[in-house]
Every structure is written in structure tokens, then in C-alpha cells.
């Protein structure tokens, strides 16, 4: 029993599917196929430039969790993500609070702060590598002249310093994102809330903890979530700065995937590491989402 | 409790003068309304009393203490904002408790005070709610309760009823006045709504363009406006003004009545009225027309109570009159009110 208008409805459906089909096809081709391929490759032993090899089940995964290199990369990833995100968020919060005050040239200051975010990564990294060079780099020259250090520091060539250096460059490149996000929410806080609090007797510190922080918390956490995802799978900065070295000191999971695949041509193992990376990230995201839900429920 | 005194206060912003040489003293426990059109400086004056703005000139006293340069928190004033400024992430309970929490009051005292204040404004059942889960009236009462818990010496209220719909505003006004009578704290209340001002104020301060035009009880302001601005700002419809050379005559619409309505012996001033429109408002009829005859042709309004038996004819010259005691006189050039004496009117008439 056809309801009145169901023919027209079916026609609408057809039109919808027809117009959606090209996009769906592209999405499947560009995202679906590679994803499935990774799953398939991860169960195969591929150790040449070939695209497939014999089926080995979970061997690649078992290899990964026993491989010291993988555990090193996992640890490096946590250091890289934790260090970058914590510093970026604190710096972002501080600068956003500062830029939210009214002062001369505030507009100019806001524009300047954005600059690192807009510079292409390759340009930024090459410039930094030059500035960080142990002999001719400007940083060592200045620190030596000021007698802060007594001998040139190997910023990128010392295993104990390299991760710190890469984190600092990453922070420099990406903290503007946190500034902009936090500044946006700061500007939406009604001024009367602070005026009411001043009359009610709240100090500047109490105004910050009891009004500003609760107000910006959901945006703060969301920004932190995004920065965590993006930092977790960041590849270009690290690889261009150090290539994962020295002595694996800056080999994070995405760098390891690249090295396994394109240095060692072990595509099966690379795929397994990529999937493990994905799984770890998924767990982190789940935790974050719970936190954000809680923060938003408090609003 | 304390009185508030504002002494020759001015506030000059970069591009304009918001408040210009205002002086004002309230009695202990008095309810004073600052009334004026938007941009007249009434809110700026209130914010200077609160300590949110620093006066450019002049001083503010609360009690006998000069507070001009004190921080808001050191003035022991409470303020209710137009949009209530509740803290969105806190429950009603925590909103009311806020002034006590930031002062480090212990939990027992806080709990007692919050429950007392909530009881006073009828919020006891809603303490767990968040501001966004409440109606405008409930938010307004929350803001009121929050301002109460500290036992302030002065209440400052900045258009607290303007975000409520018309019906609610009327009942909230009544509640507010009863509440002030109960707690008896000196209150300064800013509004642009003359009905609110008349209904709430022990005294009204009428402001315009940064200056005080008149301070007085609602009766004084309505019956004896200090100038033509007050005469036309207060009253709806406003006082009729008829310019007669140097002098401007003023009379309220309800004082302009058919001549037949007056006793033969009454001292009246006759007016020829030509009506062009009648508005029926239930309790009253408004007659829109022009005065003619002895007077220069001027648009006026008469308000007839519906209980007065009268069938107005349109477009015809009719005999109306105003009782002489109801006539007010203003200087046409300055707009200032002139002394109210019947003899003065008589003399003027003789000259004319």
C-alpha cells in the first residue's frame, strides 16, 4: 500500500543518493581503501617494496610489543605530546589573559602572536635548524656571549637535549592556536560577572578561579583535546628537525611508522605500529571526551 | 543601614560628560529612584556609588565615611545588575553563597545565611537549580538574595526589572517594594520607567543629560515639575504645554475637562478645544485635539475618566476648562517652573 506522496519521496531519495554518490565514492577511495589496506597489510609479512606478502596473523603486533624500539617510540611519543601540550596550553592561557587586557598596540600584539602558526612548517624548521646549529647557530652565539653557557650546546645532536629542543620548536609553532581559542572564550565572558564579583568582595585571584576558569574550562579542554590529537600524530616537524635521532631520542610512533616503512621497507610491521598508534590515541580520546562531558555538564 | 551622599560629582569620559555636578543625599532606609531617559547618566552615577567607576570630580559618602576612592568590596554595598550577572556554572545556592565564600565565611554561617536569604525571596525549593534552568523572575530573585547575604548598608539596583515581561514586572515591583520595607536598607534604584519610579520611590531623582532636573516625592514631581523636561517626561500622556509668549502654561490631561463639569462658582480658565481623535482605553478616554480661541493653536490631550458622561464631537469647537489651581507656569526661555500663585496668573491676564 503506497502512501500518498511516497513516489515523490522515493524520487527525492534517488536524487539524494545520486548527488551524494560522487563524494561518497571519493571518500571511500581516499580514506576507506587505505584504511582497509593497512589492516590487511598489518597481517602480512611484507619486507620488500612489494605491496603484499604471506599472511602471518598477529605476528607483526606481537613483534611490535616485544620490540624495544617500539617501547622507546611509545615513551618518546608520551614525552613529546605531554611536554608540548602542557607548555602550549599554559603559555596559551597566560598570553590570552594578557591579550585580553586593554593596552596600546593590542591589535598589533595579537597579530604578531599569530605569526608562527602561519609560517609553513618546512620554512620554520629550516630556519630553526640554522639558528640551533651548534657552531654557527645564533642561539649558542647569544648564550655564549651572555656567559649563560660555557661551551656550545648540541641542541639537536645530543640525545639528552634533542627531545627538549624539538618540543620547544613545536610549542613555538603551535601555541598561537591555544591563544586564539582561549582569547575567544575570554572575550565572551560578560563584564558584569566581574563587576558583581568585585562588589561581592572577590580578589583578582578569586575572580580568576571562580569566574574565569569555570567559564573557559570547556573550551580549554576541547583545545587541549585537539592539540593532543594533532601533536600525537605530528610527523613533519620531528622528522625534518632530527629524522628521529640522535640514537632514536626523538623517534615517536609516527616517525617509527615512517622509518619502518620507507627505511626498512617492512610494510607489515609499519602497518601494525600505525594501528597500535591509532588504538592508543583512541583510548586517550575516550578519556578526554568523558572529561569534557563532565566540564560541560557543570555549565 | 546608612545614608548615601553624593557631593558635586562629575564623570567625564574621553568623549563626553556622563554626569555633571550632581549632589544628592538620601535618608537612612530611604528608597530613592534615579529616573531619566537612556544616556542621562543615572547608571554612571550608580556605578560611582558602587565603586565601579571613579568620579572625575566630587565625593561619595556612605554613612559618614568618604568612600570615593575605596574598592567596591570595601564599601559594603550590594548591587543587582540589569541582567543579574549570575554565575552560570554555579547553582542558585552557590550563587547566593558567593559573597560569603570569597570572604572565607565558615560553612555553617554560610548555610544559615543562604537559607535565610532564599526564604526571604521565596527560592527555598530552587536552590539546586542552575541559573539557566530558571525564569527571569527567579533569576532576579536569586540576584536579590545574593545581594542580601552580606547585610549590606546600601542596595544599588540597576534596572532590575527591565528584563521581565510586563505582567511579571508588575508583581516583581510589588515584591521588591515589600522586600525593601522588610529589610529597611537604603536603596538606590535606576530606571527609565516612570511607572516603576512613581510606584517604588520614596523620592525620585529626575536626571537628564548628566544633570539632576528635580528631586522630590512622586507627588511633588508629578504635581509641581521643576521644569518643562520633568513636566513632559513624567505622566502618560505628558503634561500639556501651551507657549504664550514669555510664559508657558502647563496642565495635566486629566485636568482638562468639559466646562459643564465644573461648578459655576469654580475658579477656572476656559479653553476652546477642537477634538480630532478619541482613544478609548477602558478606564479612560484620551481626547486628542487642539486648543484655540484665547490660546495659540497647540496640540493637547485631555483624559476623561470613563465615568464622566460626555459624548465628544469631532472637529467642533468645544468649551473646556482647567481649574486654576491645576495650572502650572514655566519660563518659556529657560523652561524653569515659575511660582505657583493664582494672583500671578491674574496679573498676567490683566497685562495681556
Distance from CA of B229 to the nearest CA of A (A): 32
Q: Which helix (H) or strand (E) holds B87?
A: none
pLDDT at A290: 86
For the sheet containing B186-191, what is the strand order? Answer: B77-80, B154-158, B186-191, B31-35, B203-208, B211-216
Residues of chain A with pLDDT under 50: 1-2
In DSSP notation, B308-350 reads: S---PPTTSEEEEEEEGGG-EEEETTT-BBPP--HHHHHHHHH
Distance from CA of A283 to the nearest CA of B (A): 29
Predicted TM-score of the model (pTM): 0.77
Contact A223, A181 (CB under 8 A): yes
Considering only alpha carbons, which residue of chain B is nearest residue A208?
A: B102
Distance from CA of A251 to the nearest CA of B (A): 43
Interface test with A, best of B44, B50, B52 (most A CBs within 10 A): B52
Chain A residues touching B98 at Cβ < 8 A: 197, 200, 202, 210
A200 interfacial to chain B (CB closer than 8 Å): yes
Contact B85 A193 (CB under 8 A): yes
Residue B276 above 70 pLDDT? yes
Q: Which helix (H) or strand (E) holds B241?
A: strand B240-244
Give the separation between CA A284 and CA B324, rounded to whole angstroms.
86
Distance from CA of A244 to the nearest CA of B (A): 45
A213 interfacial to chain B (CB closer than 8 Å): no
Interface test with A, best of B48, B71, B72 (most A CBs within 10 A): B72
Residue B305 above 70 pLDDT? yes
Give the Å distances, CA to CA, from A275 to A61, A79, A231, B179. Answer: 9, 20, 17, 67
pLDDT at B296: 87
Chain B residues whose C-beta sits inside 8 Å of any chain A C-beta: 50-52, 71-73, 77-79, 81-83, 85, 87-90, 98-99, 101-103, 130, 146, 150
Contact B150 A198 (CB under 8 A): no
Distance from CA of B140 to the nearest CA of A (A): 14
Percent of chain B with pLDDT over 90: 43
Percent of chain B with pLDDT over 70: 96
Give the separation between CA A192 and CA B84, rounded to whole angstroms.
8
Grid coordinates of A12? 527525492
Contact A210 B87 (CB under 8 A): yes
Give the Å distances, CA to CA, from B102 to B71, B89, B94, B151. Answer: 15, 16, 11, 15
Chain B residues touching A190 at Cβ < 8 A: 83, 85
Contact A203 B52 (CB under 8 A): no
Contact A200 B146 (CB under 8 A): yes
Q: Rounded mean pLDDT of B317-340?
A: 89
Grid coordinates of A34? 587505505
Chain A residues touching B78 at Cβ < 8 A: 199-200
A 10 A CB-CB count for A106 gives 13
Residue B253 above 90 pLDDT? yes
Of A196, A215, A299, which is closest to B81 when you measure between CB atoms?
Answer: A196
Chain B residues touching A211 at Cβ < 8 A: 87
Pick the more confident residue, B59 or A157.
B59
CA torsion angle A247 A253 A259 A260 (round to 10): 120
pLDDT at B350: 43
Residue B94 above 80 pLDDT? yes
pLDDT category, B162, cuts 50, 70, 90? confident
For the sheet containing B240-244, what is the strand order? Answer: B240-244, B247-251, B328-331
What is the average pLDDT value for chain B, to the nearest integer? 88
pLDDT at A298: 65
A197 interfacial to chain B (CB closer than 8 Å): yes
Contact A192 B102 (CB under 8 A): no
Of B50, B87, B146, which is closest to A193 when you measure between CB atoms?
Answer: B87
Distance from CA of A182 to the nearest CA of B (A): 18
Chain A residues touching B87 at Cβ < 8 A: 193, 210-211, 214
Residue B163 above 90 pLDDT? no
Peptide bond preceding A18 in cis form (omega within 30 of 0): no
pLDDT at A9: 78
pLDDT at A3: 55
Considering only alpha carbons, which residue of chain A is nearest residue B101?
A: A202
Give the separation between CA A89 and CA A87, rounded to whole angstroms.
6
Considering only alpha carbons, which residue of chain A is nearest residue B52?
A: A195
pLDDT at B349: 46
Grid coordinates of B97? 553563597
CA torsion angle B274 B277 B279 B284 (round to 10): 10
Of residues A268, A235, A276, A249, the one with CA closest to residue A125: A235
Centroid of chain to Cα A22: 31
Give the separation between CA B206 and CA B199, rounded to whole angstroms.
14
pLDDT at B347: 45
Chain A residues touching B82 at Cβ < 8 A: 192
Give the separation between CA B217 and CA A282, rounded to whole angstroms.
70
Of residues B207, B178, B175, B170, the one with CA closest to residue B190: B207
Considering only alpha carbons, which residue of chain B is nearest residue A296?
A: B89
ipTM (interface predicted TM): 0.78
Distance from CA of A211 to the nearest CA of B (A): 7
A299 interfacial to chain B (CB closer than 8 Å): yes
A190 interfacial to chain B (CB closer than 8 Å): yes
Considering only alpha carbons, which residue of chain A is nearest residue B86?
A: A193
Chain B residues touching A299 at Cβ < 8 A: 88-89, 130
Amino acid at each position: 500500500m503506497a502512501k500518498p506522496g511516497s513516489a515523490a519521496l522515493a524520487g527525492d531519495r534517488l536524487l539524494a543518493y545520486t548527488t551524494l554518490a560522487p563524494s561518497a565514492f571519493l571518500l571511500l577511495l581516499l580514506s576507506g581503501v587505505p584504511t582497509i589496506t593497512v589492516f590487511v597489510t598489518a597481517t602480512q609479512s611484507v619486507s620488500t617494496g612489494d605491496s603484499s606478502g604471506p599472511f602471518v596473523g598477529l605476528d607483526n603486533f606481537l613483534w611490535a610489543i616485544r620490540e624495544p624500539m617500539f617501547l622507546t617510540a611509545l615513551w618518546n611519543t608520551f614525552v613529546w605530546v605531554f611536554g608540548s601540550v602542557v607548555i602550549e596550553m599554559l603559555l596559551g592561557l597566560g598570553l590570552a589573559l594578557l591579550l585580553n587586557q586593554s593596552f596600546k598596540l593590542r591589535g598589533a600584539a595579537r597579530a604578531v602572536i599569530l605569526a608562527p602558526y602561519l609560517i609553513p612548517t618546512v620554512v620554520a624548521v629550516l630556519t630553526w635548524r640554522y639558528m640551533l646549529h651548534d657552531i654557527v647557530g645564533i642561539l649558542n652565539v647569544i648564550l655564549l656571549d651572555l656567559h649563560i653557557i660555557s661551551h656550545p650546546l648540541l641542541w639537536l645532536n645530543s640525545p639528552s637535549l634533542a627531545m627538549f629542543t624539538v618540543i620547544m620548536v613545536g610549542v613555538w609553532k603551535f601555541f598561537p592556536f591555544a591563544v586564539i581559542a582561549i582569547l575567544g572564550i575570554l572575550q565572551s565572558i560578560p563584564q558584569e560577572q566581574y563587576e558583581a564579583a568585585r562588589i561581592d568582595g572577590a580578589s583578582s585571584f578569586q575572580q580568576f578561579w571562580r569566574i574565569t576558569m569555570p567559564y573557559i574550562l570547556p573550551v580549554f579542554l576541547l583545545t587541549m583535546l585537539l592539540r593532543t590529537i594533532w601533536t600525537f600524530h605530528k610527523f613533519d616537524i620531528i622528522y625534518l628537525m632530527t629524522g628521529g635521532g640522535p640514537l632514536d631520542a626523538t623517534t615517536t610512533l609516527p616517525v617509527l611508522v615512517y622509518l619502518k616503512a620507507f627505511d626498512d621497507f617492512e610494510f607489515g610491521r609499519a602497518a601494525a605500529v600505525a594501528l597500535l598508534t591509532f588504538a592508543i590515541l583512541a583510548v586517550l580520546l575516550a578519556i578526554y571526551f568523558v572529561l569534557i562531558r563532565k566540564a560541560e555538564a557543570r555549565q | 543601614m546608612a545614608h548615601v551622599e553624593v557631593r558635586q560629582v562629575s564623570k567625564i569620559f574621553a568623549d563626553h560628560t556622563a554626569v555633571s555636578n550632581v549632589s544628592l543625599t538620601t535618608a537612612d532606609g530611604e528608597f530613592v529612584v534615579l529616573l531619566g531617559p537612556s544616556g542621562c547618566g543615572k547608571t554612571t552615577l550608580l556605578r560611582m556609588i558602587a565603586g565601579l567607576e571613579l568620579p572625575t570630580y566630587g565625593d561619595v559618602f556612605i554613612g559618614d565615611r568618604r568612600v570615593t576612592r575605596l574598592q567596591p568590596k570595601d564599601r559594603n554595598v550590594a548591587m543587582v545588575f540589569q541582567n543579574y550577572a549570575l554565575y552560570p556554572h554555579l547553582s542558585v545556592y552557590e550563587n547566593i553563597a558567593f559573597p560569603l565564600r570569597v570572604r572565607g565565611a565558615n560553612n555553617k554561617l554560610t548555610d544559615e545565611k543562604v537559607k535565610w536569604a532564599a526564604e526571604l525571596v521565596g527560592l527555598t525549593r530552587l536552590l539546586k537549580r542552575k541559573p539557566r534552568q530558571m525564569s527571569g523572575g527567579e533569576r532576579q530573585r536569586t540576584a536579590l538574595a545574593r545581594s542580601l547575604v552580606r547585610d549590606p548598608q546600601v542596595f544599588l539596583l540597576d534596572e532590575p526589572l527591565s528584563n521581565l515581561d510586563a505582567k511579571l514586572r508588575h508583581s516583581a515591583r510589588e515584591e521588591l517594594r515589600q522586600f525593601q520595607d522588610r529589610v529597611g536598607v537604603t536603596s538606590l534604584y535606576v530606571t527609565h520607567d516612570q511607572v516603576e519610579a512613581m510606584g517604588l520611590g520614596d523620592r525620585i531623582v529626575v536626571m537628564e543629560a548628566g544633570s539632576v532636573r528635580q528631586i522630590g516625592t512622586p507627588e511633588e514631581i508629578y504635581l509641581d515639575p521643576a521644569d518643562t523636561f520633568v513636566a513632559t517626561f513624567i505622566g502618560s500622556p505628558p503634561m500639556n504645554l501651551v507657549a504664550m509668549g514669555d510664559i508657558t502654561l502647563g496642565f495635566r490631561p486629566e485636568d482638562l475637562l468639559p466646562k459643564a463639569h465644573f461648578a459655576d462658582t469654580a475658579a477656572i480658565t476656559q479653553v476652546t478645544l477642537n477634538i480630532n481623535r478619541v482613544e478609548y482605553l477602558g478606564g479612560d478616554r484620551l481626547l486628542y485635539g487642539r486648543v484655540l480661541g484665547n490660546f495659540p493653536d497647540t496640540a493637547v490631550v485631555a483624559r476623561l475618566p470613563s465615568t464622566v458622561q460626555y459624548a465628544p464631537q469631532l472637529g467642533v469647537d468645544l468649551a473646556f476648562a482647567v481649574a486654576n489651581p491645576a495650572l502650572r507656569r514655566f519660563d518659556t526661555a529657560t523652561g524653569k517652573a515659575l511660582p505657583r500663585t493664582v494672583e500671578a496668573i491674574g496679573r498676567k491676564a490683566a497685562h495681556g
